[in-house]
Chain A
Amino acid sequence: MIQKAKYLTLFLLVSACLAMGVHKYYVAVFQLNYVPAKKEVQMTSRIFIDDLEAAFVKKYKKKFYLGAANEVTDANEYLKKYFAEKVHVKINGKEKALKFLGKETEEDILICYFTLPAENGIKQFNVSNTMLLELYDEQQNIIHANVKGKKKSLLLTNDTTAGVLEF
C-alpha cells in the first residue's frame, strides 16, 4: 500500500469519502522561528498542493494550477488573501500582519515564506489557524514554534482552531 501523506487521521473509518488503500491524510505544518538579530518571526508553511488547489477552486471558482508551470499569474495575490483570512498570529497579545516573501514547491508540497515583525521579543504566541478546515473535517494544522532554541507545538483542528504558546 502507498502512503501519500504524513499523518494518520483519527477519523479514518468515519469519513465515507476516504479511500483506505491510499490513506490520504490532511495535514499542514507551520513553523515559526524567532530571529532576534532581525527582530522578526520567520514563518514557513508546508501545505499539500492538491489540498490548497481544491480549497481555492471551491472559494474562488477557478483553477489556479498552484506550483505548476501553467499557474495563473495572480496566484500569489490570492495566496496572500487566503492566508490573511486563515492565519492570525498575535505576538504578546498584539495581532501582527503576515508579510509574504515567496513560495516554492517541494514535490507535492507548497512551501510559503512569511515574516512578522517582533520588535519586543516573544513572550507569547497566540495562533488562530483555520487553513483548509472548510474543506476537510479531518484537517490538522500543526504549529511548531522555536524561540531561542525553546521549541513548542500546537495541534489545531476543527475542534480547536486557536491556541497559545508561552515562552
Chain B
Amino acid sequence: MVSVFAASQLSAQDKPVEKREPGHTDKNKFSQMYDLLATPNMFRTASGAPGPAYYQQQADYKMNIELDDKNTKIYGTETITYHNNSPEDLEYLWVQLDQNQSAKDSKSKLVESQKMDTAYKPDAFSRRYLEEGFAGGFNIEYVQDAKGKPLQYTINQTMMRIDLPTPLKSKGEISFSIKWWYNINNYRVVGGRSGYEHFDKDNNNLYVIAQFYPRMAVYNDVEGWQNMQFWGAGEFALPFGNFDVSITVPADHVMDGTGELQNRAEVLTPAQLKRYEEAAKSYDKTVVIVTQEEAEKSEKSFSDKKKTWRFKADFVRDFAFSTSRKFIYDAMAVKLSNKTVMAVSLYPKEANPLWGDTSTKVVAHTLKTYSKYTFDYPYPKAISVSAEDQGMEYPMICWNYGRPDEKGFVSDRIKWGNMSVIIHEVGHNFFPMIVNSDERQWTWMDEGLNTFLQYLTEQEYDANYPSSRGPAAKIVPYMSGDQKFLEPIMTNSESIHQFGSNAYGKPATGLNMLREVVMGKELFDHAFKTYATRWKFKHPTPEDFFRTMEDASAVDLDWFWRGWFYTTDYVDMGIQEVKEYYVTDKQPESLKEVNIKKGRFGQEQGPFVYMAGDANLKSRDKKALDTKEVKLLDDYISEKFSAEERAKLKSPKYFYEVTFNKPGDMLMPIIAELTFDDGTTESYTFPVQIWRKNNQTASRVFAVNKQVKKITLDPKLLTADIDTSNNVWPASAAVSKFDELEKKSK
C-alpha cells in the first residue's frame, strides 16, 4: 500500500546525521516473543490450549498408614498403579522422596553458605554442635512388583529410580508397592514444611502430615521426567490420580484429610455425626461438630486403643492429613453455582475464639470468590488447619498460622494475617492443585496467580482489607531495589533472592495491573477464566498462560510478558516538559518560516491560525482563546456553520503540549490527570502503544476549556512507577510525606 501523508506542520528541517550509526536488530520493546517462547506443537497449541496430542500420566494410590503418636513415627505401605498415557515406552520410573531432604546425609544442608554466629542460646548451640541431629528421611523397606518380587531401585537424594525388568509400554500400566517409615519432625524445633507441633502444657502433639509417602514424579512433553531434586524452595510437580487411604491413629484423635471420609459413623460419636449432618445443610452458618469441651476431654485421655480413618479422593495430585487429640472441628455447607461443598476447620482450644469465629467463614468466602473467577470448586470440601508458623497447601487441606497470644489478645496483624493465610492456602486448591503447574520449575505460576486471586478475594471480603500484595504501589520498594538482588520472574524457583516479592508479589501485581490498567476487567477476567478452564486438571506451562491471555482477549501482551516476566525492567515515567500555546492569526516573528503540506506534494498557502508558544508572545497576548477575537477563525466559523451548529461546537480555551519520558524501560499506558484552576480534574489514558515507535518519549496535545494548574502522571499509583518525583508538573506542586509531616510538627 502506498502511504498517504496527512497534512502535518513542520517547523524546522531535520539536520543530516554526520556519522551513520551501525545497524541493529529489532530492539523495540514491542517486538514479538518468537525469541523467548517455545515453538507450539501438537501437545500445546499456539492459542495456549492443550493440543490434539496432549496427554498426561496418571498415578493411583492405595495406602495403609499408621501413625505412632508415642514415638512420633509414621509407617506406610502403598501400592501405586501408574498409567503410561504418553506415546513413549518407559524404561524406568522416578519416585519423589521428599522426606530425604531432612535426612542426615541430605545435600540440602551442604549447598547453603555458612558463617560463624556470634551468639547462641544453649539449646541452639547444643543442636548445632553437640547433638547427633534429627534422624529424618525415608527408610525404604521394600519396592516390589504386583507379584511381590523385588524391583531394583536407586536413590539419588530426594529421587528414587525404579528400574523396570521390561519397559512400560505406551498406554500400558504397572502396579508396584513400597513399604516405608520415618521419624516425624517437630517442625518448630528442627524445621520442615510439615511434621508436628508439641504442646508442653498438656503433652499433646498436633500433626500436619504431608509429602509423607513416596510420590510419583511427573513425566510429560516438556521436561520428560521432572526429577529436579527437592532443595527446599521449589515445591512440587505431581501427576493426578485416585487415592484410597486408610490411616490408623490413637482412638481419641480427631482427623481430616484429602478426600471423602468413608467411615464417618465409625469414627465420630452419634452426637457428632448428627451435628455433621446439620452442618451439611447449614449454608452460611458454622456448625461445631467436635466441641471444645469434647476436645479438652480427649486431650487428657491418651487412649491406648486405635481407630482407622478411611478416605477416598478422585483426581487429586497429592494426599495430606492432620490429626490430634486437641482438635475442635467445625464445618459449614457452601453453595456454589450448581453444587454444594463443605468448608471445614480443625483447631486446638489455643486458637479460640479467633478460629471459631472466622476460619470456616473465610474458607467459604474463598471457595465462592475463586469459583467465580475460575470454575466451580470441583472437590467435596476444603479444610483449614490451625498450625502455628505454617502456611502450606495440599489438595482439600492446608496448614495456617495465627492464634491469639497467651493473654488472649489478637492484634490486627494476627487477625488479618490469619485471614490472608487462610485465603491464600485454600486458594491454592485452584492453583496448583487443580490447574496443575510445575512448581519445581516455576514457583510464580501457582504463587503469583494465587496471590492475585487472593487479593481480589480479600477486597471482596472487606473493601478496607489491608492487602499486602496486589496493589501496584506495594511492589515499588522491591522494583526500585538494587538490580544485584533482582531476577526476572522467569527464573527457576531455587535461584531467586527475594522469593516473596519475585514469585508472589511481582506476578500478582502484574496481573492486577493488566486487569486494572492495560486490558480492563471484562477482557482480563474472561481470558483468565479461559486459562483456568482450559488447564483445569491438566499441566500448563508459562507459555500456555501467556498465549491464552492474548488469544482470548485480542490484546497484544508480548511487551508486557517480555518486560515484566522476562526482565527486571521497572516502570519509571515522568513529565519531561509542558508547553503552553496561544491561538492567534497574527504571524509571530518566530513562525515566519512555517509551512503546511497539502496532499502528497503540494503546500498550503496562508492565511493561517498560529499556535504561538510562550516565548513567541508578549504577555498581553497570552490569553485564553475566544474565537470571536481571532478574526480569521471567527470569519470561518460564521461562514461555515449555522447558529444551531455553532452552538454545538467545542470551545477549547487553553492549549498545552505535554512531553512524557521514560527513565525506566518497562512500558505502561500513560495515565495523566489535569487539574484545572477551579480545582476540578479530568483524567486521560493513552494506551501503551503510544510508545510503539519510540520507547522513550511521547507527546500529547491537550485543548481544554479551563486553565491547567497541575498535571499528575498516574495519580492513583496504578502502574508501579518507582519514582513519582518526576510525575507532577509543575514540580513545585508535588507534596511529599515529609512536607506533610513537617507542616504538622510546626
A115 contacts across to B, CB distance below 8 A: 738, 742
Given contacts A2-B421, A46-B477, A101-B738, contact A25 B108 (CB under 8 A): no
Q: Is the CB of B193 within 8 A of A21?
A: yes
Given contacts A1-B447, A12-B232, A16-B128, contact A25 B500 (CB under 8 A): yes
B503 contacts across to A, CB distance below 8 A: 3
Q: Is the CB of A19 within 8 A of B482?
A: no
Q: Is the CB of B417 within 8 A of A17?
A: no
Other-chain contact of B499, A3, A11, A14, A153 (Cβ < 8 Å): A3
Interface size class of A (residues with CB under 8 A): 35 or more
The B-contacting residues of A in range 1-52, CB under 8 angstroms, are 1-8, 10-14, 16-25, 29, 35, 42, 44, 46, 49-50
Other-chain contact of A16, B124, B235, B393, B411 (Cβ < 8 Å): B124
Q: Is the CB of A2 within 8 A of B192?
A: no
Bound: A159/B117 CA distance, A: 9
B114 contacts across to A, CB distance below 8 A: 11, 14
Q: Is the CB of B742 within 8 A of A101?
A: yes
A23 contacts across to B, CB distance below 8 A: 499-500
Bound: A68/B416 CA distance, A: 13
A108 contacts across to B, CB distance below 8 A: 413, 417, 468
Given contacts A13-B108, A20-B192, A68-B412, contact A7 B742 (CB under 8 A): no
Q: Is the CB of B118 within 8 A of A158?
A: yes
The A-contacting residues of B in range 713-746, CB under 8 angstroms, are 736-738, 741-742, 744-745
Shortest Cβ distance from A1 into B: residue: B392
**A-contacting 9-mer, from B183-191, B214-222, B601-609:** B183-191
Q: How far is the CB of B498 from chain A (nearest CB, A)?
A: 5
Bound: A12/B412 CA distance, A: 28
Q: How far is the CB of A31 from chain B (nearest CB, A)?
A: 8
Cβ proximity bits B283-312 to A, threshold 8 Å, 1 near / 0 not: 000000000000000000000000000000
Shortest Cβ distance from B499 into A: residue: A8
B84 at the A interface (CB under 8 A): no
Q: Is the CB of A102 within 8 A of B744?
A: yes
B113 contacts across to A, CB distance below 8 A: 10-11
Bound: A18/B128 CA distance, A: 14
Given contacts A1-B392, A22-B390, A101-B742, contact A16 B127 (CB under 8 A): yes
Cβ proximity bits A81-105 to B, threshold 8 Å, 1 near / 0 not: 0000000000000000000011000
Bound: A44/B741 CA distance, A: 12
B416 contacts across to A, CB distance below 8 A: 107
The B-contacting residues of A in range 99-158, CB under 8 angstroms, are 101-102, 107-108, 113, 115, 137, 142, 144, 153, 155, 158
Q: Is the CB of A19 within 8 A of B115?
A: no
Other-chain contact of B232, A3, A13, A137, A155 (Cβ < 8 Å): A13
B478 at the A interface (CB under 8 A): yes
Q: Is the CB of A101 within 8 A of B745?
A: yes
Q: Is the CB of A12 within 8 A of B741?
A: no
Q: Is the CB of B391 within 8 A of A107?
A: no
A29 contacts across to B, CB distance below 8 A: 477, 481
8 contacts between A and B (CB under 8 A): A1-B391, A8-B497, A8-B499, A13-B191, A21-B391, A22-B391, A49-B413, A144-B480
* Extra 16 A-B pairs, beta carbons < 8 Å, given A3-B500, A10-B113, A22-B390: A1-B235, A2-B391, A3-B499, A6-B498, A7-B501, A8-B499, A13-B108, A14-B109, A18-B191, A19-B187, A21-B389, A22-B391, A35-B738, A107-B468, A137-B118, A153-B482
- Give 3 nearest A-B pairs by CB, closest first: A3-B500, A2-B391, A19-B389
Residues of A at the B interface (CB closer than 8 Å) are 1-8, 10-14, 16-25, 29, 35, 42, 44, 46, 49-50, 65, 68-69, 101-102, 107-108, 113, 115, 137, 142, 144, 153, 155, 158-159
